[in-house]
């Protein structure tokens, strides 16, 4: 019996030992079969013509080489560049090039942090959609339901403002005027205080005009805060950054929510690089009062994690949402170009039109960033640069990957009629309309178009750029710096031609009205200069009379005094105008208290001018003057009246509507 047991035990041991390699072989065989299955699926995908190449026509296998060639070619145009191309969860290409700090030769790497700039707004819109998913926030009711009572002070229309309006940037607010940055962290205030302090005037009826608004986006973040009961920074960390394990991203205005990011931020410089200049801006760290709209900072890897969460495969809600329907809904249009079916905004995500339509967000501070993806294929691009206003790479790479709009099935090979004449001067809706800064609309951001020999091609006159028709009502603006984008031609309720671009409407001005307004600005400047020249002449004449001790010095003395006062007032208003309007256009500061005092001073000076003109006319009638002097003083009185009228027409005294 014992012998039989020993024999059986030996057989069991031998079988067990022999079975191990068999099991290993079977496991390896199973794994090999699984890998073969995946490879077959990938081969099937690659064999599908629709999946073998990018929308631009570059085979996926060749894309890394094409990307390297492009980055190398553009190396002289950037300081540092971090870029990744992905498809779903698969990384196709990733590279850090150049220097985070050129002077110290600090190369960009995986630990380099960049400002997200306006890409930060995607965190707002994801937060909004999360609360919508939970039934805590309705996208279509008046947002005043979620705000403290009497929150708004500058509304011009009674119509409801919805979260969709905020997402579409068509709630009607003009651009903010006052500085929304603090000089250092000690000057920062809480979000509600900042929103109340910097509230802009409502210039347009809700839903009628698209005009990009940092204030409106930050208002949406405040609503997230009010509805969730969590401070916005805390909310984003708990519900977005932590679930995605984005450990190297900061959201707060002063970076106090991530010490590592705060330390890394001091290691990267910002640059302004053009064909004509190369300027180091230092760290250029900003402390944004409206921080949700543009204060996020982090590594490229973290932004890629976030981007991939937005392009989760169909049938998945991804790590951001509990339901797949929410992510699907977020990618659906909420605004269209004109009366077309071309998406303009998808729940806060802007669209760009290439050979395939993409969505996401770009951003500019002292840094540049872009997060764009094609929702059907899941092909996406993340680009980050330590450079203000960089477009050659930020948009050149998008064209490289996604192609050109002329190859979009929407327009490719489709006949269209010749363009109507779009010649004229266009102004942006994203500007100021009310208050003292309303004059800025005619001092900057102009787009004058002129016809060419081609009926479907127009030339931008004051900057490089061409506008070319590619389909019915559809034009591509090429600013010759890497960015080519759709402009859709429509007509507004006032009968004006509108060119709708991604983030703002561009409206054709009435030619006569435009030149009357700009002419008034030119005439105002000429009068101020003439008054500035007149003052030393008047002073010299007074000194000469004193020296010669003329017997008739007292004659017409009152008129001369009034004329001198008039010149002083004109020059004073001119100096205040320069400080109030011209200096800020070059990057000067616009602080609330100094601006308020300047506006009040302009208003008082304009009243002094009117009183002075009245006194001047009175004495002029009572004095014996030569014909030449009468003409001279009439012109002087007219200049005073014009300058005062200029102040009141442009509301240069009005600081409360800005």
Q: Is 409 a domain residue?
A: no
pLDDT for the residue numbered 416: 95
Q: Is 70 exceeded by the pLDDT of residue 14? A: no
Number of domains in the chain: 4
Distance spanning both ends of the chain, measured CA to CA: 104
pLDDT for residue 630: 67
Average the pLDDT over 585-597 and give the result.
Answer: 87
Residues forming a β-bridge with 101: 106
Statement to judge: residues 284 and 385 lie in one domain: yes
Q: Is residue 413 part of a domain?
A: no
Between CA 585 and CA 443 the distance in angstroms is: 9
Q: What is the pLDDT of residues 48-100, one digit of tens each?
A: 544 589 999 999 999 999 999 999 999 999 999 999 999 999 999 999 999 99
On whether residue 616 sits in a domain, the answer given is: yes
Q: What is the pLDDT of residues 192-210, one digit of tens each?
A: 999 999 999 999 999 999 9
- Look at residue 635 in the predicted model and tell me its pLDDT: 81
Whether 599 has a pLDDT exceeding 80, the answer reads yes
One domain, residues 488 and 569: no
Confidence of residue 29 (pLDDT cuts 50, 70, 90): very low
**pLDDT band for position 109 (cuts 50, 70, 90):** very high
Angle, CA 237 vertex, CA 360 and CA 299 arms, to 5°: 55
Greater model confidence, 34 or 265: 265
Would you say residue 408 lies in a domain? no
Write down the residue that tokens 């899941």 correspond to. 378
* Beta pairing partners, 381: 85, 372
Contact 349, 361 (CB under 8 A): yes
496-547 tens-digit pLDDT: 999 999 999 999 999 999 999 999 999 999 999 999 998 888 777 767 766 7
Phi, psi of 442 (to 5 degrees): -105, 5
- Does pLDDT of 431 surpass 70? yes
The per-residue pLDDT for 47 is 40
Same domain, 342 and 386: yes
DSSP-derived secondary structure for 548-566: HT-TTTTTTHHHHHHHHHH
378: alpha, beta or left? (left if phi > 0; alpha if psi -120 to 50): left
> What pLDDT sits at residue 560?
75
Q: Which of 490, 509, 528 represents a domain boundary (last residue)?
A: 509
| pLDDT-derived band at 41, boundaries 50, 70, 90 | very low
Nearest Cα to 576, choosing from 544, 601, 613, 545? 601
Please indicate, yes or no, whether residues 526 and 543 belong to a single structural domain of this protein: yes
The CATH number of whichever domain residue 285 belongs to comes to: 3.40.710.10
> Residue 319, class by beta-carbon neighbours within 10 Å (0-12 exposed, 13-18 middle, 19+ buried)?
middle
**What b/e string do you get for 285-305 counting C-beta neighbours within 10 Å, with b at 16 or more?**
bbbbbbbbbbbbbbbbbbbbb
pLDDT digits (tens, 9 = 90+) for 327-374: 999 999 999 999 999 999 999 999 999 999 999 999 999 999 999 999
241 and 305 both lie in a single domain:
yes
Helix axes 511-548, 627-649, angle to 10 degrees: 130
Q: What pLDDT is attached to residue 276?
A: 80
Q: How confident is the model at residue 625 (pLDDT cuts 50, 70, 90)?
A: low
Statement to judge: residues 307 and 326 lie in one domain: yes
CA distance 129 to 362: 20
* Same-domain pairing of 500 and 556: no
Quick one: CA torsion of 315, 317, 322, 328, rounded to 10 degrees?
Answer: -90
Residues 488 and 551 in one domain: no
Residue 56 lies in a domain: no
The reply to whether 297 falls in a domain is yes
pLDDT confidence of residue 385: 97
Is residue 610 over pLDDT 80? yes
In a domain, 656, yes or no: no
pLDDT in tens, 534-555: 888 877 776 776 677 654 545 5
**Encoding tokens for residue 518?**
């700009």
**Residue 53 in domain:** no
Helix (H) or strand (E) holding 164: helix 163-168
Residue 15: is its pLDDT beyond 90?
no
Q: How many H-runs (helices) and E-runs (strands) does the chain carry?
A: 17, 24
pLDDT at residue 24, as a whole number: 29
pLDDT tens digit sequence for 112-164: 999 999 999 999 999 999 999 999 999 999 999 999 999 999 999 999 999 99
**pLDDT attached to residue 623:** 64
Last-in-domain residue among 346, 368, 403: 403
pLDDT digits over 573-583, tens only? 999 999 999 99
Of 70-84, 221-235, 300-314, the range with the lowest mean pLDDT is 300-314
pLDDT at residue number 6? 36
CB–CB of 289/183 below 8 Å? Answer: no
Reduced to 3 states, what is the DSSP secondary structure of residue 7?
Answer: helix
Torsion of CA 232, 253, 197, 437, to 10 degrees: -130
Tell me the average pLDDT of the chain. Answer: 88
Query: What's the pLDDT score for residue 619?
Result: 66
Q: Which candidate, 311, 348, 390, places its Cα nearest to that of 217?
A: 348
Instruction: Go through the chain and tell me how many residues it has.
Output: 658
Both 39 and 121 in one domain: the answer is no
Same domain, 365 and 469: no
What integer pLDDT is reported at residue 622 of this predicted model?
Answer: 60
Instruction: List the one residue out of 203, 141, 156, 140 whose CA is nearest residue 176.
Output: 203
pTM of the model: 0.88
Alpha-carbon separation of residue 237 from 51, 232, 652 (angstroms): 36, 9, 44
Decide: 396 and 481 in contact? Cβ < 8 Å: no
Find the domain containing 502 and state its range.
424-509
Residues 80 and 94 in one domain: yes
Confidence band (pLDDT; 50, 70, 90) for 46?
very low
Per residue in 168-196, pLDDT (tens digit) is: 999 999 999 999 999 899 999 999 999 99
Neighbours of 470 (CB within 10 A): 20
Query: What confidence tens digit (pLDDT) does each residue in 471-482 have?
Result: 999 999 998 888
If we measure between CA atoms, which residue out of 399, 427, 112, 87 comes closest to residue 264?
112
Q: Which residues contact 342 (CB under 8 A, 6 or more apart)?
A: 336, 351, 353, 357, 410, 474, 486, 488
Encoded tokens for 32:
């090999």
Task: Check whether residue 314 and residue 342 sit in a common domain.
Answer: yes
């Amino acid at each position: 019996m014992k012998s039989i047991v020993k024999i059986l035990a030996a057989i069991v041991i031998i079988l067990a030992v022999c079975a191990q390699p068999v099991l290993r072989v079977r496991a390896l065989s199973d794994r090999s079969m699984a890998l073969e299955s995946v490879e077959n699926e990938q081969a099937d995908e690659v064999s599908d013509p629709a999946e073998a190449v990018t929308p631009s026509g570059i085979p996926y296998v060749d894309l890394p080489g094409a990307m390297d060639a492009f980055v190398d070619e553009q190396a002289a145009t950037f300081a540092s560049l971090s870029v990744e191309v992905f498809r779903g969860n698969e990384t196709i290409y990733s590279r850090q090039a150049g220097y985070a700090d050129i002077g110290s030769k600090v190369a960009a790497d995986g630990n380099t942090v960049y400002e997200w700039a306006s890409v930060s707004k995607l965190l707002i819109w994801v937060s909004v959609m999360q609360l919508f998913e939970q039934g805590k926030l309705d996208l279509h009711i008046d947002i005043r339901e979620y705000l403290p009572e009497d929150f708004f002070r500058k509304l011009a229309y009674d119509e409801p403002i919805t979260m969709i309006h905020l997402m579409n940037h068509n709630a009607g607010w003009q651009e903010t005027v006052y500085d929304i940055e603090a000089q250092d962290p000690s000057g920062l205030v809480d979000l509600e205080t900042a929103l109340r302090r910097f509230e802009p005037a409502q210039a347009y009826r809700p839903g009628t005009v698209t005009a990009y608004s940092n204030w409106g986006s930050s208002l949406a973040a405040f609503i997230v805060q009010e509805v969730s009961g969590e401070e916005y920074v805390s909310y984003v960390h708990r519900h977005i950054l932590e679930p995605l394990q984005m450990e190297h991203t900061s959201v707060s205005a002063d970076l106090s929510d991530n010490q590592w990011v705060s330390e890394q931020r001091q290691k990267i410089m910002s640059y302004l690089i053009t064909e004509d200049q190369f300027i180091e801006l230092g760290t250029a760290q900003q402390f944004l009062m409206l921080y949700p709209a543009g204060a996020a900072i982090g590594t490229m890897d973290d932004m890629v994690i976030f981007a991939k969460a937005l392009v989760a495969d169909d049938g998945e809600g991804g790590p951001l949402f509990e339901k797949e329907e929410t992510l699907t809904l977020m990618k659906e249009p909420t605004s269209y170009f004109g009366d077309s079916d071309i998406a303009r905004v998808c729940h806060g995500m802007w669209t760009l039109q290439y050979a395939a339509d993409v969505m996401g967000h770009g951003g500019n501070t002292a840094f540049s960033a872009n997060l764009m993806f094609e929702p059907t294929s899941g092909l996406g691009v993340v680009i980050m640069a330590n450079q203000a206003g960089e477009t050659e790479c930020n948009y050149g790479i998008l064209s490289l990957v996604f192609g050109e709009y002329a190859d979009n099935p929407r327009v490719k090979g489709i006949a269209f009629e010749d363009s109507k004449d779009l010649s004229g001067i266009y102004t942006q809706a994203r500007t100021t309309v009310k208050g003292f800064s309303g004059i800025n609309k005619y001092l900057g951001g102009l787009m004058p178009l002129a016809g060419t020999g081609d009926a479907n091609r127009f030339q931008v006159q004051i900057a490089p750029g061409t506008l070319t028709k590619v389909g019915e009502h559809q034009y591509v603006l090429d600013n010759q710096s890497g960015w080519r984008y759709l402009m859709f031609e429509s007509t507004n309720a006032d009968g004006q031609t509108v060119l709708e671009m991604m983030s703002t409407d561009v409206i054709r001005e009435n030619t006569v009205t435009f030149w009357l307004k700009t002419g008034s600005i030119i005439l105002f400047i000429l009068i101020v200069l003439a008054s500035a020249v007149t003052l030393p002449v008047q002073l010299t004449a007074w000194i000469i009379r004193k020296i010669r001790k003329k017997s008739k010095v007292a004659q017409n003395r009152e008129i001369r005094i009034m004329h001198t006062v008039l010149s002083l007032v004109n020059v004073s208003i001119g100096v205040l105008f320069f400080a109030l309007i011209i200096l800020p256009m070059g990057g000067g500061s616009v602080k609330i208290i100094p601006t308020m005092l300047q506006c009040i001073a302009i208003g008082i000076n304009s009243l002094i001018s009117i009183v002075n003109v009245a006194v001047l006319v009175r004495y002029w009638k009572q004095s014996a003057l030569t014909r030449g002097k009468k003409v001279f003083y009439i012109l002087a009185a007219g200049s005073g009246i014009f300058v005062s009228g200029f102040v009141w027409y442009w509301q240069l005294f009005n600081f409360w509507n800005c």
